[in-house]
Amino acid sequence: MKDCIFCKIINKEIPSDIVYEDEKVVAFRDLEPQAPVHLLIVPKTHIASLNDVEPKDLETMGWLLTKVKEIAASQNLANGYRLVCNTGEDALQTVKHIHFHLLGRRLMQWPPG
């Protein structure tokens, strides 16, 4: 989608540090990492948020979830990791292209702030 920063990353119109890519999914390093490993895992299809996931997205979103463990393993996260999908205003979603933060290599806190 035009003017979507993550679509631009997916289309290589702006640079990013991509650590995984296939026909449906891209994972790249967050610009402002909140943990030693902080990736953003995104579908190549533009979906604005979890609130916009429809049955037609089943294959893409299901595929994405099967890739999480592989991407985590590639980052040496055998000790665990956190997957976060900020959705909407209260959750402080700033980029309106659905993305999963993959955070790891430090002890997380619960509850999150």
Residues with a known catalytic role: 99
Positive/negative CA dihedral, 30, 35, 24, 58: negative
In the complex, the smallest distance separating the C-beta of residue 92 from ligand 5GP, rounded to whole angstroms, is: 5
> Across-strand partners of 20?
27
Site for Zn ion in 61-100 (CB under 5 A): 97
Rounded Cα–Cα distance for residues 75 and 14 (Å): 23
Q: Does 89 bind ligand 5GP (CB under 6 A)?
A: no
Q: Does 57 bind ligand 5GP (CB under 6 A)?
A: no
Which residues, in sequence order, are CB contacts of 43 under 8 Å at separation 6+? Answer: 24, 25, 57, 60, 61, 64, 98
Rounded Cα–Cα distance for residues 62 and 79 (Å): 24
Residue from 46, 95, 105, 106 in contact with ligand 5GP (CB under 6 A): 95
In the complex, the smallest distance separating the C-beta of residue 78 from ligand 5GP, rounded to whole angstroms, is: 24
Q: Does 83 bind ligand 5GP (CB under 6 A)?
A: no
Output the residue with the shortest Cβ distance to Zn ion.
Answer: 4
Q: Where on the chain is the footprint of ligand 5GP (CB under 6 A)?
A: 5, 16, 28-32, 40, 86, 92-95
